[in-house]
Structure 1
Amino acid sequence: MLTNTDLTQIKKHGLSVDDIIKQLETFRRGIPPVDIVTAASVGNGIEVIPEEVQHRLVSLYDEKKQALDIVKFVPASGAATRMFKFLHEFLQSFNPEEDSFKKYIKKYRKQEVETFFNNFKLFPFVNSVRKTIREQYPDYKTSNKGERNICIAKAMLEKEGLGYDDYPKGLIPFHKYKKYATTAFEEQLYESAFYASASSDVYLHFTFAEKHVPFFKEEFEAIKKRVTFKTKKEFHISYSFQKKETDTLAVKKDDTPFRDVNGELVFRPSGHGALLDNLNDVDADVIFIKNIDNVVIEPYVEELAFYKRLLAGKLLFLQAKVFDYIRKLQEETITEDLYKELKSFFWNELNCKDVPADKHQMLYLLDRPIRVCGVVKNTGAPGGGPFWVKNEYGHVSIQIVEMSQIDKKKAEQIKLLNEATHFNPVDIVCSTRNYKGKKYDLEKFANQDLGFIASKSYDGKTIKALERPGLWNGAMYNWNTVFVEVPQETFNPVKTVNDLLNKAHRPDA
C-alpha cells in the first residue's frame, strides 16, 4: 500500500511507518464511544466551595506563590475564520441586485447578520474598517444599505482589506477603550498579572500556528510598554506550535490512504490533543490553562482573578495532601486508621470511588498529575462537560466528555448527556511535577484510545481525519481530577464576532 516515495514523505514528516500502521488500524477498528454512567453534579463530583473556605484557599495560594514556578498556558492556534462564518455566508448568498438588505434578512432569517450590521459602530475594529473602506471603496457613501454592508464585510475579511478571515483570533481587536483597542492576546497578558505572577514576573506560553508567530511577536513589541506600565509586571513570553510529528494521515471512506492531485499522502493537524506535546515541554509547579478568546474587559479582571487564585489554592491544598500521603505510604505499613483516612481522601477529594487496599496500588493512584477544573452551570453552550464514565474494564472515573465522544444512536446516552448540569469552560489549573519536584511525562497519563474520527473536506472531496485524544479529554484521562463550580461571569468566550457585543467585552456598556 505504501511506496518508497510514501516512506520518504512519512520520514520527512517526522513520523514512522509504525505510526502510520497504527493510525490505519485505528481507522479500520474505529474508536468506541465513551460510556457515560451519569452526569457529574454538585455533591456528585462537582464541589461548591463555601465562601469562608474560598478566602482561605486564595490566601494559601497568595502565600505560597512567591516560591513557585508559575506559567499560564494559552492554546491559541486557530485562525478567526469561524468567528466570521455568518459574514462569509452573507457575502456568498446576498445579491443586492435581487434583494434589498431588509428583504434578504427577512427571507433567510439572518438575525446574526442583522445584529452585526445594526451594531457595527460598537465593534472595536470599526475605525480600521472605515479607513479601509475610504481607501478601497470610493462609491461607498452613494451605495444602498446592502451594497455598503458588502463593502464592510469585504474590508474586514478579504486579504486586500484587513484580512481578518485568515488572521489569528488572538490578534483580532476585542475591546475598545477610550484611547486604544486591545486584542485577546493583550487582555490575556493583562489579566495574568493578577493571578499568574510571582513577584514582578509573569510567564506565559502561547501555542500558535507557525505562520502567525511573527505577528504575535510584533504585537507584543507594540503593546509591551502599555501593559507593563498598567500592571507594573515584566512579561516573559514563550511560543510553540503544533508539531508536525503529531499530524495524522487522511484516509478515504474505505480507510485507505487519501492522496492529493500529485499522488502524495495527505497529513492533517490532529486537533488540540496534539498540544499535549507542547504542554509536556512546560516545566512549572503551577500551570494555568485558558483559551485565548475567553477574556474580559479590565473592570472585571479582579473578580475573575479571585476565582483563578481559588482554583490554584485548591490545587496546592490537594498537592500537599497527596505528597504527604505518598511519603507516608513509602515509609509506613498501612494501619487501619491510615487506610480509613486515605479512603476518605480518595473518595471525597479525588473523586476516586474504587479505593484499593494495597499500598502499591494506592501509590500508583496518587503519584500522577493533578488538575483542578473550574466548571460553570450549563447554559446550553456547545462543548464538553464533567461526567462519570466507565471504561472497557468496568472502572468508573470522572472525565470531561465532548459531544463527539457520545454514541448518538443510544437514547439513554443522549438522555444522560442532556442531564448535564455543568459545562467545561477550559478553566484549568495543573500540577505536573511529582513530590520530588520532577516533571511527569504527561504522555504516560493519556488514554490513546479516546481520539476522534471526523469527516472533513479536502479539495472538495470527503476524507476521514483522525484527531488525538483531546487535551482536556483523553490526553488527561489518567490525571487526578477535581471539579469546582465557578460563576458564569468567569466564562466569556468569543465564538462569533457578535459575542463582542456582550457586556463583558464592552467598556462603554
Structure 2
Amino acid sequence: MDSVLVDKIRTQGMNPDLVAQQIDNFINGFPYLKILGPATPAHGIKVLDQSELLQFIQAYKVQAFKKEIVKFVPASGAASRMFKDLFAFLDGDGDLEKSGFTKKFIQNIQKFAFYEDLDNTLKAQGTSMEACLSNADYKKIVAALLQDDGLGYGSLPKGLLRFHRYPSENRTPAHEHLVEGIQYAAGRGEQVQIHFTVSPEHEMKFKAEIAQVLPKLIEETGLSFEITYSQQKKSTDTIAVTMENTPFEEEDGSLLFRPAGHGALLENLNDIDSDLIFIKNIDNVVPDHLKEPTKEYKMALAGYLLDAQNQIFEALRALDQEISHESVGLATEVYNTVLGGKVPATESSQSLIELARYLKDKLNRPIRVCGMVKNTGEPGGGPFWIEESDGSQSLQILETAQIDLNDPNSKAHMMASTHFNPVDLVCGTRDYHGKSFDLLAFRDMQTGFITEKSKSGRDLKALELPGLWNGAMAGWNTLFVEVPLITFNPVKTVNDLLRDEHQ
C-alpha cells in the first residue's frame, strides 16, 4: 500500500492495517465453511418437553435476581424498506389497481395503529382520511404517511412507528420492548436494563419516546429502568472498492467507507458488562395477549444457559484446582455432552496436561443459547454442525453465502436443514472468574460478506463484517433450543402489521 493511500486512510480516521486486510478480502474472497450436517432436533437442537420447560423457567427465576441482565436491541436504520411498495406507488400514476400491495394497505387503513395519527396529519394539511378515500386521493394518504411534512414514516426507524393498538394507547416497538423486558429481564435490584443501538439522527427521538412511556411503566410495576443507547462505531466502517479491487474514491478524492452490517455491533455488545444479555430484533414484538409464549421461552432459554454454564464453570474450576484423570474426565464429559463437542484424535492422544489445556481453551469461552424455529420459508441463518480447523466440531449459525452450493454435500446439508435462526439469543459473556470476555477475540474474520452496490452511478464492492450472530460469534460455545413459531413475528413490510399476530 503506497504512502499516499496510507495518508488518506489515516486522515479519514481509519486503520491502514485493517484497510489492507479488507482489500485483501476483496481480492481473495472468503472461504466456505466445512459443513458436517444440519443441526436438527435429533442432533444439535434441544426440544424441551413441558417438564423441562418448567424446570428451566424455574431455574432462571431462582437465579435472575442475583444477575446483571441486559436486553440488547439492534434498532439502527430507517424503516424505508418497509414501505418500498408504497414509495413505488407514490412515484407512479396513483392507479390503485396496478398495485395490489397498496390496494390492501388502503382497504385496511383503519386497522393500523397509526390510523388516528395519519388522520390527524391529513386534517392538519386541510383534508381528512374520509375525504381522501371518497375522492380516491390515495397518493395524498400515502404521502402523509411517508413524507417528512407528514408523519415521516419513510425516514423513521422501525422502533418509532406505531405497531400495535390498545384501548388506551398505540405502542411503538420501542415501547413494546420495554413492556416485554418487564416480563423476563428484571435482574439484580429489580432493575430492567435495555440497550438500544440507534442511528445518530434517531437517538433523540428514541429518548423522547422512552421518556413519554416510562413513567407509567414505573408506576404500574414498581421496577426501576436503565435505558441506554449506543451508535454503530465509525471505526467499524469498511472500505469500498471498485470492481477491480482498488479503493473507491469519491469525486473530492476522499475514500469511500461504508457501514459494515450488523456484525459491526459486536463492538457495542462488547461494551456491555453483564451476566446475561438477551438479544432480539426491534421489529419482532407482539401485542400483550401473545406475549406469554415469548416470556416463557425467553426464561427457559436463560435457565438452560445458566444450567450449562454452571456445569462448564464447575469443570473449569476443577481443572484449576488439579489436573488429574478425574478433572480432565469431567471437562471431557462436559465438552462432549453439554456442548456436543468432539475432541479430535490428535488431541486425545496428547499428554494429560496438553489435553487439559485444550479442553480449558474450548470451555472457557462466551456461551449463547439460540432459539430456533421450524423453517417455513422465511429468510434467515440456519443451524449447522461445522468442522473447525483443529478437527473439532461446533454448532454455528450460517448464512447461505457461507455455504458452497456447488459442493453436492454442502448443498444436501443445506436442503436437509429443518430450522432457522429468528435472532432469539441469550448470551453469557463473563468467564468463571466473573470477568467479561473480550468478544472481539472470538470473531472469525474469514466469515465476512462481499456485496455489489453502486454510488453516483458507479459500481462498487462493499464488505460486511462477520454477522453478529454468525461469524462474529463463531468462537463462542453455542447451544440450540427449538422455540415456537409464534415467538417469531417480524415486520418486514407495513402490511405485515395486518397479520393476526399484530392485531
TM-score where L is the length of structure 1: 0.92
Rounded Cα–Cα distance in structure 1 between residues aligned with 2:2 and 2:146: 41
Taking the TM superposition and a 5 Å limit, the aligned residue runs for 1:54-453 are 54-92=53-91, 94-96=92-94, 100-102=95-97, 104-105=98-99, 110=100, 112-136=101-125, 138=127, 147-198=136-187, 199-335=189-325, 339-354=328-343, 356-357=347-348, 358-391=355-388, 394-453=391-450
Instruction: Give the aligned residue type for 1:343.
Output: T
Rounded Cα–Cα distance in structure 2 between residues aligned with 1:59 and 1:289: 21
Contact 1:200 1:234 in 2 (8 A): yes
Rounded Cα–Cα distance in structure 1 between residues aligned with 2:454 and 2:148: 23
Contact 2:315 2:334 in 1 (8 A): no
Residue in structure 1 matched with residue 352 of structure 2 by the alignment: none
Residue in structure 2 matched with residue 460 of structure 1 by the alignment: 457
Rounded Cα–Cα distance in structure 1 between residues aligned with 2:239 and 2:437: 29
Rounded Cα–Cα distance in structure 1 between residues aligned with 2:220 and 2:11: 46
Note the C-alpha offset of 1:7. Answer: 4.3
Instruction: Give the aligned residue type for 1:173.
Output: R
Contact 1:454 1:464 in 2 (8 A): yes
Instruction: Give the aligned residue type for 1:21.
Output: A
Note the C-alpha offset of 1:29. Answer: 1.0
Instruction: Give the aligned residue type for 2:208.
Output: E
Tell me, yes or no, if structure 1 residue 34 matches structure 2 residue 33. Answer: yes
Rounded Cα–Cα distance in structure 2 between residues aligned with 1:297 and 1:286: 25
Instruction: Give the aligned residue type for 1:233.
Output: L
Residue in structure 2 matched with residue 46 of structure 1 by the alignment: 45
Rounded Cα–Cα distance in structure 1 between residues aligned with 2:52 and 2:389: 38
Rounded Cα–Cα distance in structure 2 between residues aligned with 1:170 and 1:143: 28
Rounded Cα–Cα distance in structure 1 between residues aligned with 2:220 and 2:128: 42
Contact 2:236 2:259 in 1 (8 A): yes
Note the C-alpha offset of 1:51. Answer: 1.6
Tell me, yes or no, if structure 1 residue 505 matches structure 2 residue 502. Answer: yes
SS at match of 2:171: strand
Instruction: Give the aligned residue type for 1:167.
Output: L
In the TM superposition, what whole-angstrom CA distance separates every residue of 1:469-490 from its partner, at most 9, and x where no partner exists?
1111111001110001111111
Distance 1:216 1:144, change over 3 A: closer
Note the C-alpha offset of 1:312. Answer: 0.7
Which residues of structure 1 form unaligned runs of 5+?
A: none
In the TM superposition, what whole-angstrom CA distance separates every residue of 1:81-110 from its partner, at most 9, and x where no partner exists?
111112122223x314xxx423x24xxxx3
- Percent identity over paired residues: 42
Rounded Cα–Cα distance in structure 1 between residues aligned with 2:16 and 2:381: 33
TM-score where L is the length of structure 2: 0.93
In the TM superposition, what whole-angstrom CA distance separates every residue of 1:251-278 from its partner, at most 9, and x where no partner exists?
1100001112212111100111111111
**Which stretch shifts more, 429-438 or 452-461?**
452-461
In the TM superposition, what whole-angstrom CA distance separates every residue of 1:345-392 from its partner, at most 9, and x where no partner exists?
222220212364411101111111110111111111011110112345
SS at match of 1:77: coil
In the TM superposition, what whole-angstrom CA distance separates every residue of 1:482-504 from its partner, at most 9, and x where no partner exists?
00111111111111111111222
Distance 1:338 1:144, change over 3 A: closer
Rounded Cα–Cα distance in structure 2 between residues aligned with 1:223 and 1:8: 48
Distance 1:163 1:321, change over 3 A: same
Rounded Cα–Cα distance in structure 1 between residues aligned with 2:11 and 2:203: 23
Rounded Cα–Cα distance in structure 2 between residues aligned with 1:140 and 1:225: 32
Contact 2:263 2:465 in 1 (8 A): yes
